[in-house]
């Protein structure tokens, strides 16, 4: 069968992205326009600004993705776009453009759940490396700025099913990284900065206790099994960091750091290190260590309870070095295969959307032209 070229478009949050992927397994192009510089002064994503930036970027980003792939509007086989979850206005920019293109070109359009995209980022890269031997069921941890979700994932032919077996009750893990970085005057987004600074502090200097939430799953399950859920909670640790800052009178040095870093347009690691004393570095390392231990610990218990054969760890926080090392060490110790996307494919991108669309293309699951953005879209049975 000839290769199928799908143009993917992603605009759910603060990245305008377009990519061409062939037959769900080869990235022909992957263009990501990040809006970080726009949102940085506000310390987080401003939805109205995100929509405006998507509007400005979408046409050139899509054009670039086609050019990089050596494709044209007419040569692609189908279009795919993120339907949700995400910011409603931001999603609408991608959806409206994808609909207009699909209509004008008379090509099929596929609507993709962003979380399904993150899961397929892992598969896409494994297939690109020639690895088709993934054992199911897969337990997928999608861990990003908006999500900390565990899915038990199965596949039958071109049909995928996802059962949510746990998720955060409050803040997502990436949100906790971002909020703690903000509290410590480190700027936005916090995850990559905390990741780089953690290696310079003592991860055992401050003890954080994360809440343990475990309960029976009362929903009816297909085979009447009575398995627990594995929920997370990360709003408490942010408050604990805040309390530590107050107790140790760190506010003045944080304010000085915030002001100094604001004068540097692209701070480097040395700049951050210049403005962080050892006490701050120890706090950062301890925070990251507590987050990683909780994510890895709960995911591995869930993997055992649900008899997972393989683990996928994906989403922006999956770029974290300590998280990757801990998963590799601890899952490896239990004989559980664990896969991550490469760092560029961990964070938001459109290659994952085009890859997730491929089985739907084969199954002819095309979107009706009147579908709309679903800001709170859940990922469920396929």
Give residues with Cβ within 8 angstroms of 309, minimum separation 6: 135, 136, 137, 138, 336, 337
Whole-angstrom distance, CA of residue 74 vs CA of residue 5: 11
Q: Is 316 in the site for ligand KG4 (CB under 6 A)?
A: yes
369 three-state secondary structure: coil
Q: Cβ distance 314 to 341 under 8 Å?
A: yes
- Which residues lie across from 310 on neighbouring strands? 138, 337
Q: Which stretch binds ligand KG4 (CB under 6 A): 48-56, 139-147, 274-282, 372-380?
A: 139-147
Phi, psi of 220 (to 5 degrees): -75, 135
Q: Using the rule CB under 6 A, which residue among 203, 315, 341, 359 binds ligand KG4? A: 315
CB of 105 to ligand KG4, least distance (A): 28
Q: Is 231 in the site for ligand KG4 (CB under 6 A)?
A: no
Q: Which stretch binds ligand KG4 (CB under 6 A): 2-10, 170-178, 237-245, 363-371?
A: 170-178
Q: Each residue of 327-356: b (16+ CB within 10 Å) or e?
A: beebbeeeebebbbbeeebbbbbbbbbbbb
Q: Which stretch binds Zn ion (CB under 5 A): 157-165, 171-179, 249-257, 348-356?
A: 348-356
CB of 317 to Zn ion, least distance (A): 10
Whole-angstrom distance, CA of residue 7 vs CA of residue 69: 10
Q: Is 348 in the site for Zn ion (CB under 5 A)?
A: yes
- Interacting partner of 190 out of ligand KG4, Zn ion, none (Cβ under 5 to 8 A depending on kind): ligand KG4
Whole-angstrom distance, CA of residue 112 vs CA of residue 322: 30
Q: By rule CB under 6 A, what string of x and - marks binding of each residue 144-163 to ligand KG4?
A: xxx-----------------
> Residue 336's Cα: distance from chain center in Å?
22
Comparing CB distances to Zn ion, the nearer of 282 and 348 is 348
CB of 226 to ligand KG4, least distance (A): 32
CB of 327 to ligand KG4, least distance (A): 13
Q: Where are the alpha helices (DSSP H) in 154-277?
A: 173-183, 190-198, 235-247, 251-262, 269-274
Task: With CB under 6 A as the rule, give the number of residues binding ligand KG4.
Answer: 19
Whether the bond into 85 is cis, omega within 30 of 0: yes
Comparing CB distances to ligand KG4, the nearer of 188 and 275 is 188
Comparing CB distances to Zn ion, the nearer of 57 and 184 is 57
Q: By rule CB under 5 A, what string of x and - marks binding of each residue 127-156 to Zn ion?
A: -----------------x------------
Tokens found for residue 139? 């337990």
Q: By rule CB under 6 A, what string of x and - marks binding of each residue 270-309 to ligand KG4?
A: ----------------------------------------
Whole-angstrom distance, CA of residue 352 vs CA of residue 31: 12
Residue appearing with tokens 């993934």: 134
Whole-angstrom distance, CA of residue 273 vs CA of residue 252: 17
Q: Which stretch binds ligand KG4 (CB under 6 A): 199-207, 275-283, 313-321, 350-358?
A: 313-321
Residue appearing with tokens 């009575």: 226
Would you tell me which residues interact with Zn ion (CB under 5 A)?
Answer: 144, 348
Would you tell me which residues interact with ligand KG4 (CB under 6 A)?
Answer: 13, 144-146, 174, 177-178, 189-192, 195, 315-317, 319-320, 347-348
């Amino acid at each position: 069968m000839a290769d199928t070229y799908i143009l993917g478009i992603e605009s759910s949050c603060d990245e305008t992205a377009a990519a061409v992927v062939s037959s769900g397994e080869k990235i022909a192009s992957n263009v990501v326009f990040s809006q970080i510089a726009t949102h940085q002064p506000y310390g987080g994503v401003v939805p109205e600004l995100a929509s405006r930036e998507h509007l400005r970027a979408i046409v050139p980003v899509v054009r670039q993705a086609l050019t990089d792939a050596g494709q044209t509007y007419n040569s692609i086989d189908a279009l795919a776009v993120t339907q949700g979850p995400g910011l409603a206005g931001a999603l609408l920019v991608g959806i409206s453009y994808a609909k207009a293109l699909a209509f004008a070109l008379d090509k099929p359009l596929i609507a993709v759940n962003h979380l399904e995209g993150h899961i397929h980022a892992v598969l896409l890269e494994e297939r690109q490396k020639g690895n088709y031997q993934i054992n199911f069921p897969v337990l997928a941890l999608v861990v990003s700025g908006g999500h900390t979700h565990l899915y038990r994932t199965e596949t039958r032919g071109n049909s995928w099913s996802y059962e949510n077996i746990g998720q955060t009750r409050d803040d997502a893990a990436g949100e906790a990284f971002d909020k703690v970085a903000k509290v410590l005057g480190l700027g936005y987004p916090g995850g990559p900065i905390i990741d780089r600074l953690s290696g310079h502090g003592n991860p055992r200097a401050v003890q954080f206790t994360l809440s343990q939430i475990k309960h029976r799953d009362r929903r009816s399950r297909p085979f009447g099994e009575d398995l627990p859920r594995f929920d997370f909670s990360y709003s408490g640790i942010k408050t604990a960091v805040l309390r530590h800052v107050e107790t140790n009178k760190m506010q003045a040095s944080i304010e000085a750091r915030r002001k100094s870093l604001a004068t540097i347009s692209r701070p480097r690691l040395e700049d951050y290190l210049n403005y962080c004393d050892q006490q701050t570095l120890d706090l950062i390392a301890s925070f990251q260590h507590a987050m990683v231990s909780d994510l890895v610990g709960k995911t591995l218990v869930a993997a055992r309870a649900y008899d997972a054969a393989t683990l996928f760890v994906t989403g922006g926080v999956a770029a974290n070095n300590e998280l990757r090392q801990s998963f590799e060490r601890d899952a490896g110790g239990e004989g559980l295969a664990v896969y991550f996307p490469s760092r560029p494919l961990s964070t938001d991108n459109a290659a994952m959307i085009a890859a997730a669309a491929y089985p739907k293309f084969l199954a002819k699951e095309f979107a009706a032209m009147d579908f709309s953005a679903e800001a709170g879209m859940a990922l469920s049975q396929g």
